[in-house]
Amino acid sequence: MLLLLLLLGVLQKPAVGTEFSDRVRLLDQKLQLLDTLLMRARARPDLSADDRTILDVAETLTHVARQDLQQADLDTVNMSLNEALRLTGEVSRQYAVRAPGADRSEYEELRATVDGLYEAFGVTVAASNAPVSTGVDTRAVEADLSRSAELAARGRHADASRTLRKVYAPLVKALSALRANETVAHRLHFETPKDELDYELNRLRSNELLVRLMVQERKPASSVLTQVEADVAEAARFKAQSTAQAASSDFENALRSAEAANGHLVRALRRTGVYIAQ
């Protein structure tokens, strides 16, 4: 490990005597390392033309570094080799072999997210009194969901994830817009307090998912994230309270608790930049 650190960052001090000799030796080792990495990278049969061009640049830098080393310009040699290492590593990482099961794990995580997102989208659209234009072709979404499931069943998890990513972004955009335009006027007329509670809990699940998605997408500052997490914690407390009240058939108080939970999630969403009416 120490040798690798030395190879990747030769000391930038004046070269005198033994120190000079040590730096020359380390730079020579770095050159040998680059020769090996470039040879391995070029050996890939699936290397793209763009990546070959990047490797050509890295190889040119290595050749120039060899010439500069003969002129004892060690600082310039080190900079050239560092850039050549960066470029070679950039190409090699694209072709790195993924760990067994990584594609499947990524697909399963993305699938759970997209399924929840689509459910929240459906709940939000259904809760609107007036017709809404979402820009989402639900038939196309469902076709992509089915297609991704088929690909996953055949073991093609990477392809299944690519199909899901086509669905993910439009759903996030549509759900954000729907939530931003939601008003109290959208509320339906309910037969009983329990019916209204069911609606509010569906809205709560939708908001929970949207908060998670907005935090992932917008990556708020740590100070804002702390406030978002506090709102989410309060929402969870009121949600648990609502669940207990509903279990005792106290639907009116359960509804008030669910509304309080949604109030905290609305505040959390506003903190991420999504305006939603209370």
Structural domains counted in the chain: 3
CA R_g for the chain: 28
The rounded distance, in Å, linking the Cα atoms of 151 and 144 is 10
Q: How many CB atoms lie within 10 A of CB 82?
A: 16
Binned at pLDDT 50, 70 and 90, residue 182 comes out as low
* Amino acid at the residue 36: T
The rounded distance, in Å, linking the Cα atoms of 129 and 181 is 13
Contact 44, 55 (CB under 8 A): no
- Both 278 and 202 in a single domain? yes
- Both 9 and 90 in a single domain? yes
* Amino acid at the residue 46: D
Higher per-residue confidence, 134 vs 27: 27
Tell me how many degrees the CA angle 159-161-166 measures, rounded to the nearest 5: 100
Q: Is a pLDDT exceeding 90 seen at residue 106?
A: no
- Both 36 and 121 in a single domain? no
* Predicted TM-score of the model (pTM): 0.44
Domain end among 133, 151, 184: 184
The rounded distance, in Å, linking the Cα atoms of 255 and 271 is 24
The rounded distance, in Å, linking the Cα atoms of 268 and 195 is 26
Of residues 190, 172, 194, the one with CA closest to residue 124: 172
Q: Is 174 exposed, middle or buried (0-12, 13-18, 19+ CB in 10 A)?
A: buried
- Both 208 and 153 in a single domain? no
Higher per-residue confidence, 101 vs 183: 101
Q: Which residues contact 9 (CB under 8 A, 6 or more apart)?
A: 82
- Mean pLDDT, all residues of the chain: 80
Which of 22-26, 114-118, 158-162: highest mean pLDDT?
158-162
Q: What is the pLDDT of residue 152?
A: 93
Q: Domain range holding 202?
A: 188-278
- Both 271 and 256 in a single domain? yes
- Both 198 and 258 in a single domain? yes
Domain end among 48, 76, 94: 94
Q: What is the mean pLDDT of residues 214-240?
A: 88
Q: Is 16 exposed, middle or buried (0-12, 13-18, 19+ CB in 10 A)?
A: exposed
Q: Is a pLDDT exceeding 50 seen at residue 3?
A: no
- Both 268 and 196 in a single domain? yes
